[in-house]
Amino acid sequence: MVICRVSSALKESNHPTRWYPFAVTGINVTAFLIELIDEHLLDMKLYRLADNGAANDQDDDLNAGLIQLHDFYATIFTRFNQLWVDTNPRDVMAFPSIFQSLKNDIRRSGAGRARAHAKKKQYKRGHATKNRARDVDQIQDDLRVEKVTGKHLTFEMDEDLPGLGQFYCTPCGRHFIDTKTRDVHLKTKVHKRRLKDVAQKQYTQKEAMQGAGKGIETYKRAHSKKSDDMDDI
């Protein structure tokens, strides 16, 4: 079936008026597949077993993955061929724009892993906050702790942090690889701007609740209690 589809594309590429370079198309499809693999957008398709049954060993898994890869290659090629025929370009110079249009369409449709968690709120929330920096109010709390204790924040040795986590800038909430790099950072506009930010009044949870319309407002009495008692008399 795959051979038939590619053969049909080969025949169409030799059309007298709307021909396109068959070999160049294959090279572009291969390069596009490599991009999708590097971006982990084909994981679901590559790990899917062949239709003839579940794989029992590593060789079967490899063969099943190759079959899926070849099938997806043929699918992209035939989709380009159909898009080329439907577009009916004036000459071969339209090849880059048409192929780019195909790439965008495949990415939007979701080639694999990128769309696997599209509707999972927990995944979205975790992905959005994975590398979230510390907020200004959190940094203000850290600075208050440093002021009370009279010592800079210290961290345990961590190989995943720059400089093993031993060169930390508290106002910016960033780790640096060594003292020299941190000292250079202390002279930058980014650091000075952050110093102005943390010097402002701290944003409290009470203000957040009021902004959301959940705060408890207190009103002053229009008349004093003494005047109310006089009215009763």
User: Could you report the per-residue pLDDT of 44-70, keeping only the tens digit for each?
Assistant: 666 654 444 444 455 555 566 677 778
Residue 49 CA to residue 67 CA, distance in Å, equals 9
What is the structure's pLDDT at 226?
62
| Mean local confidence (pLDDT), 198-226 | 76
User: Quick check: 213 pLDDT over 60?
Assistant: yes
When pLDDT is cut at 50, 70 and 90, the band that residue 184 belongs to is: very high
Tokens of 218: 């207190």
When pLDDT is cut at 50, 70 and 90, the band that residue 116 belongs to is: low
Residue 174 CB: number of other CB atoms within 10 A?
17
* E strands, 61-186, in order: 168-169, 174-175
Q: What is the pTM of this model?
A: 0.42
| Ranges of each domain in the chain | 1-110, 133-204
When pLDDT is cut at 50, 70 and 90, the band that residue 180 belongs to is: very high
Percentage of the chain lying above the pLDDT 70 cut: 72
Three-class SS state of 148: helix
> In 161-214, which ranges are continuous DSSP H helix?
179-186, 189-198, 205-211
When pLDDT is cut at 50, 70 and 90, the band that residue 92 belongs to is: confident
133-204 CATH: 3.30.160
Residue 160 CB: number of other CB atoms within 10 A?
7
User: Quick check: 111 pLDDT over 60?
Assistant: no
Report yes or no: 136 and 143 within 8 Å, Cβ to Cβ: no
Summarize pLDDT for 143-174 with one digit per residue, the tens.
999 989 888 888 888 888 888 889 999 999 88
What's the Cα-to-Cα distance from 179 to each of 43, 118, 166, 182, 191, rounded to whole Å? 42, 42, 9, 5, 15
CA angle 10-72-117, nearest 5°? 150
When pLDDT is cut at 50, 70 and 90, the band that residue 107 belongs to is: confident
